[in-house]
């Protein structure tokens, strides 16, 4: 059913007292046929499971109880929700009003229509709102063993005006906030303290699993601690997955602490409709497992930010890789038939046209090439690029896409895997890589977990009989020479609607480039968290768990304060 979302932004401390929505006259119309239910999102299912996949179409499930009802759907003309989050780098109160101009009466097969809404909001402005003293811009949360290795990064950031402080996981758990119910909540309470008292905007978590060989990665359904240098919060959505958004979503409503446990039963992120989801700080993680990885990333960040890459031709190049994710698109604007993944790639290139002089399309439809094979991808990647987008399918160690073969069935093109990374030779020409696909950001894997993953038939770590110890997205950063300066990836299944490609996971990935190319985001955090904020601001997320699923699994591997393009990049006018 159609909906219209209007978002109103107020300073932190504003109190929303009342929201009214006055509607125009209601018209009733009998319709032919039933209105079909919204289809379930389709997973960008992991590669091994989909070799024989042919039908990737929207499937709707009709509930007979609903279709025999005399209750209108939606059950009201409008609803609203109050959020807290960062808007244009300012702590804000966000009021989202969702209006429903058409409501459906299933049993009578009639629709009820209004032409206009008049929204009236009563609110109290903040009184004597004192902003936090700006002591620091960023806090790095890391284990004690990594502190010495991170000091060069702290010095580098301070010299560039990003006032940075390291806080150890050990000090947070022993000296701060012992009232937290588990270690992730204690860390989150510390971040809230730092945001309120130090004025931080950036949070960098440095630390992943403690071993590449084996780890018991979670204590229970809600968190992992003992096997981790920096603990992780698992959601209880679907099978459960890691979400670092938990650490950034500090407040809900008009400023109360957002604990992601609205019913207080110590099972986190199960009531998806009640989560706030707006980041209150920009966040990212470097899930390093040893000092060598820390040193590698610190060196990359320092080298990247010391140069004005935005002046160089390689930075003004963007590589997009795609094919058929679900289906070919037809109709106006698609030149007959256009693979949906390629269409999404072209959308992002359009967003980035103010920055990108040299677009490179590695498409399944290209003949004779370049196509999404390991050889063609490595060849272009090794020349350097400022940005890379993969739009397709994945598992924990591989990305791929599809094309129609001679019989019309969908066939895998060839793809790109972590075992191809030694062939990447891009030196210091490091891109920001956005990855669309399942499990490419699954950073809780180890060698033995993937080796024995199929023993119970569940494939919890999504390697499907192969062996991997580091996920696709993160391994691009740990490559000592070349690779990437930052990446994104899904910590669980990427999802989408075949009939609406620019939605769910793909919308977040596209929004990243919208923030960079159109909104001129200057830092990695502004682009990544900004893509979530744009999604939450633009879309009515009420009533569909797919939105919460996509947003909470969307992981950034990188320094959120990283200056995109290196030394100060001028604003785009």
DSSP sequence for 97-154: EEE-SEEEETTTTEEEE-S-EEEEEEEE--SS-PPPP-S-SEEEEE-GGGHHHHHHHH
For residue 392, give its domain range: 308-437+471-557
- Please report whether residue 481 resides in a domain: yes
CATH of the domain at 533: 3.40.50.1460
What tokens does 248 get?
């950034």
Please give the average per-residue pLDDT across 484-509, as a whole number.
Answer: 94
Q: What is the tens place of the pLDDT at every residue in 448-465?
A: 988 887 655 566 788 887
- Please report whether residue 114 resides in a domain: no
Q: Is the pLDDT of residue 47 over 90?
A: no
**Looking up tokens 């698609």, which residue turns up?**
334
Judgement on whether residues 270 and 313 belong to the same structural domain of the protein? no
**Burial per residue of 404-436, b for 16 or more beta-carbon CB atoms within 10 angstroms, e otherwise:** beeeeebebbbbbbbebbeebebeebbbbbbbb
Q: What is the tens place of the pLDDT at every residue in 543-553?
A: 778 899 999 99
Q: What is the tens place of the pLDDT at every residue in 409-441?
A: 778 999 999 999 999 999 999 999 999 999 999
Which helix (H) or strand (E) element contains residue 511?
helix 504-517
pLDDT of residue 568: 67
End-to-end CA separation in angstroms for the chain: 38
Judgement on whether residues 159 and 243 belong to the same structural domain of the protein? yes
- Please report whether residue 164 resides in a domain: yes
Judgement on whether residues 478 and 540 belong to the same structural domain of the protein? yes
Judgement on whether residues 313 and 428 belong to the same structural domain of the protein? yes
Q: Is the pLDDT of residue 478 over 90?
A: yes
Cα 191 to Cα 132, 151, 253, 536, distances in angstroms: 14, 20, 18, 22
Number of separate domains in the chain: 2
Peptide bond into 74 cis (omega under 30): yes
Judgement on whether residues 376 and 524 belong to the same structural domain of the protein? yes
403 φ, ψ (degrees, to nearest 5): -145, 160
pLDDT of residue 62: 66
pLDDT of residue 460: 79
What tokens does 279 get?
């980041």
Task: For residue 489, give the 3-state DSSP assignment.
Answer: strand
Closest listed residue to residue 122, CA positions, set 221, 256, 193, 16: 16
Q: What's the pTM value of the predicted model, to 2 decimals?
A: 0.92
What tokens does 551 get?
């947003």
Judgement on whether residues 424 and 487 belong to the same structural domain of the protein? yes
Judgement on whether residues 316 and 267 belong to the same structural domain of the protein? no
- Please report whether residue 493 resides in a domain: yes
- Please report whether residue 564 resides in a domain: no
- Please report whether residue 390 resides in a domain: yes
- Please report whether residue 488 resides in a domain: yes
Judgement on whether residues 328 and 239 belong to the same structural domain of the protein? no
Judgement on whether residues 418 and 535 belong to the same structural domain of the protein? yes
Q: What is the tens place of the pLDDT at every residue in 201-235?
A: 999 999 999 999 999 999 999 999 999 999 999 99
**Looking up tokens 């219209």, which residue turns up?**
4
Q: Which residue has better confidence, 127 or 236?
A: 236
Q: Name 65's Cβ contacts closer than 8 Å, sequence gap at least 6.
A: none
Judgement on whether residues 265 and 342 belong to the same structural domain of the protein? no
Are 121 and 149 in contact by the 8 Å Cβ rule? The answer is no
Confidence bin at 328 (pLDDT 50/70/90)? confident
Judgement on whether residues 255 and 344 belong to the same structural domain of the protein? no
478 φ, ψ (degrees, to nearest 5): -80, -10
256 pairs with which residues across the strands? 252
Task: Report d(CA 175, CA 158) in Å as an integer.
Answer: 25
pLDDT of residue 347: 97
Q: How many residues in the chain?
A: 573
Judgement on whether residues 185 and 238 belong to the same structural domain of the protein? yes
Please give the average per-residue pLDDT across 370-379, as a whole number.
Answer: 97
- Please report whether residue 106 resides in a domain: no
Q: What is the tens place of the pLDDT at every residue in 265-307?
A: 999 998 777 899 999 999 999 999 999 999 999 999 999 999 9
Are 402 and 410 in contact by the 8 Å Cβ rule? The answer is yes
pLDDT of residue 53: 45
Alpha carbon of residue 191 to chain centroid: 20
CATH of the domain at 186: 3.40.50.10390
Please give the average per-residue pLDDT across 189-203, as a whole number.
Answer: 96
């Amino acid at each position: 059913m159609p909906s219209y979302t209007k978002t109103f932004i107020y300073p932190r401390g504003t109190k929303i007292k009342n929201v009214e929505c006055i509607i125009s006259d209601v018209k009733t119309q009998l319709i032919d046929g039933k209105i079909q239910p919204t289809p379930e999102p389709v997973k960008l299912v992991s590669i091994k499971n989909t070799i024989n996949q042919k039908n990737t179409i929207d499937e709707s499930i009709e509930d007979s109880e609903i279709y025999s009802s005399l209750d209108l759907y939606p059950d009201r003309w409008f609803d609203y929700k109050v959020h807290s989050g960062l808007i244009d780098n300012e702590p804000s109160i966000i009021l989202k009003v969702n209006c429903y101009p058409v409501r459906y009466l299933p049993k009578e097969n009639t629709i009820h229509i209004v032409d206009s809404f008049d929204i009236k909001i009563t609110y109290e402005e903040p009184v004597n709102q004192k902003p936090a003293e700006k002591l620091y811009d960023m806090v790095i949360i890391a284990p004690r063993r990594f502190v010495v290795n991170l000091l060069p990064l702290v010095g580098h950031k301070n010299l560039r005006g990003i006032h940075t402080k390291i806080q150890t996981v050990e000090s947070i758990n022993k000296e701060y906030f012992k009232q937290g119910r588990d270690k992730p909540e204690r860390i989150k309470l510390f971040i809230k303290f730092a945001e309120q008292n130090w004025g931080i905007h950036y949070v960098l978590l440095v630390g992943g699993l403690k071993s590449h060989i084996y780890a018991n990665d979670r204590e229970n359904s809600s968190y992992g601690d003992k096997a981790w240098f920096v603990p992780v919060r698992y959601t209880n959505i679907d099978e459960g997955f890691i979400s670092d958004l938990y650490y950034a979503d500090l407040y809900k409503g008009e400023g109360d602490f957002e604990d992601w446990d609205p019913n207080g039963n110590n099972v986190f992120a199960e009531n998806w409709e009640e989560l706030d989801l707006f980041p209150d700080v920009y966040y990212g993680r470097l899930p390093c497992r040893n000092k060598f990885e820390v040193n590698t990333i610190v060196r990359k960040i320092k080298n990247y930010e010391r140069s004005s890459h935005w002046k160089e031709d390689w930075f003004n190049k963007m590589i997009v890789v795609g094919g058929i994710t679900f289906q070919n698109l037809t109709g106006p604007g698609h030149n007959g038939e256009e693979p949906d993944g390629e269409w999404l790639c072209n959308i992002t290139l359009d967003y980035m046209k103010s920055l990108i002089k040299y677009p490179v399309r590695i498409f399944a439809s290209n003949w004779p090439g370049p196509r999404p094979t390991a050889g063609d991808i490595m060849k272009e990647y090794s020349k350097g690029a400022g940005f890379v987008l993969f739009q397709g399918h994945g598992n924990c160690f591989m990305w791929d896409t599809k094309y129609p073969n001679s019989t019309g069935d969908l066939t895998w093109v060839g793809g790109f895997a972590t075992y191809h990374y030694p062939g990447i030779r891009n030196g210091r020409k490091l891109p920001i890589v956005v990855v669309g696909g399942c499990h490419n950001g699954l950073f809780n894997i180890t060698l033995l977990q993937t080796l024995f993953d199929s023993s119970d038939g569940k494939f919890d770590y999504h390697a499907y009989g192969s062996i991997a110890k580091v996920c696709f997205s993160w391994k691009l950063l740990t490559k000592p020479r070349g690779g990437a300066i930052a990446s994104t990836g899904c910590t669980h299944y990427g999802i989408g609607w075949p009939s609406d490609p620019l939605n769910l996971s793909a919308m977040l990935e596209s929004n990243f480039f919208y923030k960079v190319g159109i909104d001129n985001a200057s830092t990695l955090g502004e682009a990544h968290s900004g893509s979530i904020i744009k999604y939450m601001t633009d879309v009515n997320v009420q009533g569909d768990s797919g939105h919460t699923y996509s947003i909470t699994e969307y992981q950034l591997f990188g320094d959120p304060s990283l200056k995109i393009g290196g030394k100060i990049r001028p604003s785009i006018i």
